[in-house]
Amino acid sequence: MAPPRTDAPSRIVRLDTEIQYVKGVGPRRAEQFAEHGIRTVGDLLCHLPFRYEDRTQFRSISSLREEEWVLTRGRIAGIGGFEGRRRRISVVEILVRDATGSVRLKFFNQPYLRSVFKPGLDLIIYGQVKRDPRAHGTLVLMNPECELHEQETGPRVHSGRVVPVYRRLGDMRTRTLRQIVFGIVSNLPPDMDDPLPGYLRRRYRLMSRDRAFALLHFPLLNGTTREARNTEMEALNRGLSPAHKRLIFEELFQLNVGLQMIRSSRTRLLKDRRLQISENVREAIKKILPFHPTVAQKRVLKEIADDMRSPSPMSRLLQGDVGSGKTIVAAQAAILAAENGYQTAIMAPTEILAEQHYFSFRNLLTPLGYRIDLLKGSLRRKEKDSALARIAAGETHIAIGTHSLIQDEVEFARLALVVIDEQHRFGVVQRGVLMEKGHKPDVLVLTATPIPRSLALTLYGDLDISVIDQLPPGRKPIETRSYEPEDREAIYKEIRRVVEDGHQAYVVYPLVEESEKIDLRAATEMARHLEREVFPDLRIGLLHGRMKSAEKDSVMTAFAAGKIHALVATTVIEVGIDVPNATLMVVEHAERFGLSQLHQLRGRVGRGAAQSMCLLVADARNNPDARRRLEIMCETNDGFRIAEVDLELRGPGEIAGTRQSGIPAFRFANLIRDRKGLELAREEAGEFLGRIRRGGDEECLRLASLIRKQVRERYGWALIG
Ligand code: ADP
Ligand code: MG
């Protein structure tokens, strides 16, 4: 069966044809398209129908049955309804008739429909059949979707086939869009550049690209039985028809080829240094550990050391649940560099974290004679200049800071290793910039955002991955409970109990930009309330991002030294903070946090041998998603399990890390639903690039440069050389 074609004189359009030159568009509509990011024919073709309707067969009105979703048509025979007082409610009611009978349609609060529906007009109607309790239980369709049914001459666009239903764009409704898209797909050239090599299309029986685009918008059903057709319709409506699958595979394949290209272009870079691991180095590394490393820590350290000794720069992701001991491993890697006479830069997403790292690295490493410098915004010019001078002279072994560390003014004498902590704020592009900088440093990215492996391999597809899949011994799972805001007394009791046991507590408030002032006030007031009314005998601290750096320092230092019993904080403490004596985490307004955030916050406790506890204070009565989040938090401590539920609840666009990973939203693929396809695409991308390395045939070489170009355009990864 051929894809739909018109008999109209062909007017070839290409994917890069500007939308305004398409038949039926023009400058005014082009502007509306542009507002939705649609500039070319290709962009519009990627604007997927949100539903398909099988309009090959309409149901006759007399055959409609209660509860069925149906497609029917008929002529408007009468219009009625009423308008409530002060227009609070309006009902437009119309009677539609065909040769077999009549049925009523009711529209609530859409009074303008009165001027659209006129007796004598023909309608196509889609909706669910109900019994109307207000009209003696007769059948009715409530708020069905309707389209005027004009008799079509020429090719049938709106009926007699499976039709796409689009979301409205500007003032263009589905019918207009359908007409425009139909014009396009009827005129797509069959020789469209296809980024999927022929052998892959054959291997997976994937259709050509032009055909996929045509069928994506104007599907043809192959089934001859009703069941078969229903199955096909269902696949279409779930975005999994053969046309969808072809484009999903293409999207995943391209992405993976792009990422692997970045990766291999890095392995072609050569460092001008080789690190040795002598006995001295081994000894130095061992000395910093006040405990035995876990098996997992040993394994990943070896992977890192091997990379650091290899000729091309490391780009490795170190994944491990909160508290699994990533920082220690990073410190060991830094020693490896230092003992070979090289410098390490450690970048944290926030100043507080940079400071935290500074303190822990200083505690670990200064006694052994390593020199550590912290670069932060609040340094006085003189302090900063002298730190910069030490770094430039190579006296500093480890420089710690925020992103400013890779700014131009910082010159390293002998930079060998860059550690990026909590990578979810640092994407593919920035990583690339770093690699390109003078020293071709080894890059180690630390992340506690647990995502399933198949996803990690794509989201961080430009990196090698090491996993610490084990917690240090003696950790007890953090007991987690949820409370309603009214249970305040119970919560205060827990805080008191913990403090009396010699431990400390966090009380965390959400801080979101939209309500920053209110949130800050809430945290500040809570701190004051606790201090004056609830725990006049305890020391309460307050920490938030708006405080001056020196204030933050002194609060954090006091808390780490055990001089503050309870620390009220905004989410500035979300990542990385390590005070093992803190054993209670109270999260206020927990309903406002996402799962991975809650997990991160909880990870601030349970860092020592004592039993820790996390209390989630939430009003989740009318929020089923929030309830589910609280449930899973109370149920498990396993970051990977939590990540999976997070994926289910949030959907693919929202996966922690996706936004920041530098990979824009997918057009066809859905990273959760298509996990299998993702795996396959990754393997095939590897094989494809392998073919090219071995010389490749003409098609492969042509496609490689096509993909390179497309990936650059879409993702802006300049590194793909
Ligand atoms: P992460 O950065 O992975 O969240 P950290 O490196 O901050 O974890 O380590 C969490 C805590 O566990 C720290 O107090 C650290 O000193 C301690 N720790 C790390 N590795 C071990 C180990 N092998 N045995 C005992 N304690 C450890
Ligand atoms: Mg950490």
Whole-Å CA distances, 337 to 273, 417, 659: 10, 7, 32
- If you take atom 17 of ligand 1, which residue's CA is the nearest one? 325
203 found inside a domain: no
Ligand 2 center to 324 CA (angstroms): 8
Query: Do residues 459 and 451 lie in contact, with contact meaning Cβ atoms separated by under 8 Å?
Result: yes
Residue 125: give its domain's CATH number.
2.40.50.140
Kindly give, in sequence order, each residue whose CB lies less than 8 Å from that of residue 125, ignoring residues fewer than 6 positions away.
71, 72, 73, 74, 96, 105, 141, 144, 145, 146
Q: Is residue 530 part of a domain?
A: yes
Q: Residue 345 and residue 400: Cα distance in Å, rounded?
A: 6
Look up residue 689 and give its amino acid. L
- Establish if 104 belongs to a structural domain: yes
Residue 422 binned pLDDT confidence (cut-offs 50, 70, 90): low
Residue 534 gets which letter from DSSP?
A: I
pLDDT of 114-131, one tens digit each? 888 999 999 989 889 999
Question: Average pLDDT for residues 646-675, to the nearest whole number?
Answer: 65
Final residue belonging to a domain, choices 587, 609, 636: 636
CB neighbour list of residue 295: distance below 8 Å, 6 or more residues apart: 470
C-alpha distances (whole Å) from 605 to each of 337, 367, 449, 585 are 31, 27, 17, 7
Q: Mean pLDDT for the chain? A: 86
Q: What is the sign of the dihedral through the CA atoms of 654, 655, 661 and 667?
A: negative
Which ligand 1 atom is the nearest neighbour of the CA of 326? 3
In ligand 1, the atom with minimum distance to the C-alpha of 322 is 4
pLDDT at residue 31, as a whole number: 94
**Is 450 close to ligand 1, i.e. is its CB under 6 Å away?**
no
How many angstroms does the Cα of residue 608 sit away from the middle of ligand 1?
Answer: 9
Strand 540-543 vs strand 566-570: parallel, antiparallel, or unpaired? parallel
- Residue 438 — φ and ψ, nearest 5°? 0, -65
Q: Determine the distance separating the centroid of ligand 1 and the alpha carbon of 324, expressed in angstroms.
A: 6
Q: Which atom of ligand 1 is found nearest the CA of 325?
A: 6
* Ligand of minimum distance to the alpha carbon of 422: 2
Residue 550 — pLDDT band, cuts 50, 70, 90? confident
Pairing of strands 415-421, 582-587: unpaired
My answer on whether 570 and 446 are in the same domain is: no
pLDDT at 72 over 50: yes
What is the residue whose two structure tokens read 């409609």? 64
Give the tens place of pLDDT for each residue, 272-323. Answer: 888 999 998 998 888 888 889 999 999 999 999 999 999 988 989 898 887 7
Give the domain range for residue 625: 479-636
Tens digit of each residue's pLDDT (9 = 90 or more) over 96-118: 999 999 999 999 888 888 888 99
Band (657; pLDDT cuts 50, 70, 90): very low
> pLDDT per residue over 338-391, tens digit each?
999 999 999 887 777 788 788 888 888 988 899 999 998 778 889 999 999 999
Which numbered atom of ligand 1 lies nearest the CA of 421? 2
CATH number, domain with residue 327? 3.40.50.300
335, amino acid identity: I
Residue nearest to atom 25 of ligand 1 (CA): 472
Give nearest CA residue, ligand 1 atom 27. 472
pLDDT score recorded for residue 570: 82
195 CB under 6 A from ligand 1?
no
Q: Which of 96, 153, 151 is nearest to 120 (CA)?
A: 96
Distance between Cα 604 and ligand 2 center (Å) = 10
Instruction: Please name the residues in contact with 652: beta carbons below 8 A apart, sequence gap of 6 or more.
Output: 658, 666, 669, 670, 671, 672, 673
425 — pLDDT class (breaks 50, 70, 90): low
Please give the distance of CA 389 from its chain centroid, rounded to a whole number. 40
Residues in Cβ contact with 294 at an 8 Å cutoff, skipping those fewer than 6 apart: 325, 468, 470, 471, 472, 473
At residue 710, the pLDDT reads 81
Residues 531 and 463 in one domain: no
Alpha-carbon span 659 to 670, nearest angstrom = 14
Assess if residue 357 is contained within a domain: yes
In a domain, residue 99? The reply is yes
- Does the pTM surpass 0.85? The reply is no
State whether 318 and 452 are in the same domain: yes
Distance 607 CA to ligand 1 centre (A): 7
Say which range, 552-556, 569-573, 612-616, has the weakest mean pLDDT: 569-573
pLDDT of residue 418: 92
Total count of domains within the chain: 3
Cβ-count burial 33-45 (b if 16+ within 10 Å, e if not): beeeebebbbbbb
What was the pLDDT predicted at 454?
Answer: 66
319 lines ligand 1 (CB under 6 A): no
The arithmetic mean of pLDDT across residues 614-631, rounded, is 91
Task: Evaluate: CB of 606 within 6 angstroms of ligand 1.
Answer: no
3-class SS at 87?
A: helix
Residue burial 658-677, b: 16+ Cβ < 10 Å; e: rest: bebbbbeebebbbbbebbeb
CA of 472 to the centre of ligand 1 (A): 7
Which residue, of 133, 160, 187, is where some domain finishes? Answer: 160
Instruction: Find how far residue 104's CA is from the centre of its chain.
Output: 44
- pLDDT-derived band at 84, boundaries 50, 70, 90: confident
Predicted confidence at residue 538, as pLDDT, reads: 94
pLDDT in tens, 439-454: 789 999 888 766 666 6
DSSP per-residue letters across 39-83? -BHHHHHTS--SEEEE-SSPBPGGG--TT-EEEEEEEEEEEEEEE
Identify the pLDDT of residue 651: 59
Cβ contacts of residue 1 below 8 Å, gap of 6+? 220, 222
Residue 613 counted as domain residue: yes
**Ligand 1, closest atom to CA 292?**
23
Residue 114, amino acid = R
Task: Look at residue 471 and tell me whether its pLDDT is greater than 80.
Answer: yes
Q: How many angstroms separate the CA atoms of 720 and 685, rounded?
A: 15
Q: Note the pLDDT tens digit of each residue in 512-536.
A: 555 667 767 888 888 899 999 999 9
The phi, psi pair for 232, rounded to 5°, reads -65, -40
Mutate to test the pocket of ligand 1, among 327, 422, 445 (most ligand atoms within 8 A of CB): 327
Asked whether residue 342 falls in the same domain as residue 447, the answer is yes
Question: In terms of DSSP bridges, do strands 122-132 and 145-148 run parallel, antiparallel, or are they unpaired?
Answer: antiparallel
| Highest mean pLDDT: which range of 431-435, 457-461, 479-483 | 479-483
The secondary structure of residue 195, as a DSSP letter, is S
Q: So what's the pLDDT on residue 8?
A: 44
Residue-level pLDDT at 533: 92
Question: Does the C-beta of 327 come closer than 6 Å to ligand 1?
Answer: yes
Does residue 190 lie within any of the structural domains? no
Q: What's the distance, CA 717 to chain centroid?
A: 18
Calculate mean pLDDT across residues 122-151: 88
Q: What is the percent of the chain where pLDDT is above 90? A: 44
- Predicted pLDDT of residue 482: 94
Q: Give dist(CA 519, CA 536) in Å, integer.
A: 23
Residues with CB under 5 A from ligand 2 (ion): 327, 576
Closest residue (by CA) to atom 24 of ligand 1?
472
Residue 577 Cα to ligand 2 midpoint, Å, equals 7
Among the bound ligands, the one closest to the CA of 576: 2
Same domain assignment for residues 434 and 539: no
Band (233; pLDDT cuts 50, 70, 90): very high
- Percent of the chain exceeding pLDDT 70 equals 90
360 lines ligand 1 (CB under 6 A): no
Q: Find the 152 Cα to ligand 2 centroid distance in Å.
A: 65
More confident site: 413 or 153: 413
The residue length of the chain stands at 721
Using one digit for the tens of pLDDT, what is the confidence trace for 4-53? 444 444 467 888 899 999 988 989 999 999 999 899 999 999 998 989 98
Ligand in closest contact with the CA of 328:
1
- Given CA atoms 203, 204, 205, 211 in this order, what sign does their dihedral have? negative
For residue 498, is pLDDT > 90?
yes
Indicate whether 298 and 390 sit together in one domain. Answer: yes
577 and 631 assigned to the same domain: yes
CA of 364 to the centre of ligand 2 (A): 14
Q: Which amino acid is at 33?
A: F
501 and 464 together in one domain? no
For residue range 559-599, what is the model confidence (pLDDT) as tens digits?
A: 989 999 999 988 766 555 678 899 999 999 999 888 888 88
Quote the CA–CA distance of 432 and 263 in Å, as a whole number: 10
Cβ pair 222, 254 in contact under 8 A:
no
pLDDT at 656: 43
Per-residue pLDDT at 9: 43
Same domain for 541 and 464: no
Measured by CA distance, the residue closest to atom 21 of ligand 1 is 472
Q: Is the CB of 599 under 6 A from ligand 1?
A: no
d(CA 614, CA 491): 10
Residue nearest atom 9 in ligand 1 by C-alpha distance: 325
Strand partners, 582: 504
Same domain, 446 and 494: no
Same domain, 459 and 514: no
| Range of 422-431, 534-543, 588-597 with top mean pLDDT | 534-543
Q: Is 604 in the pocket of ligand 1 (CB under 6 A)?
A: no
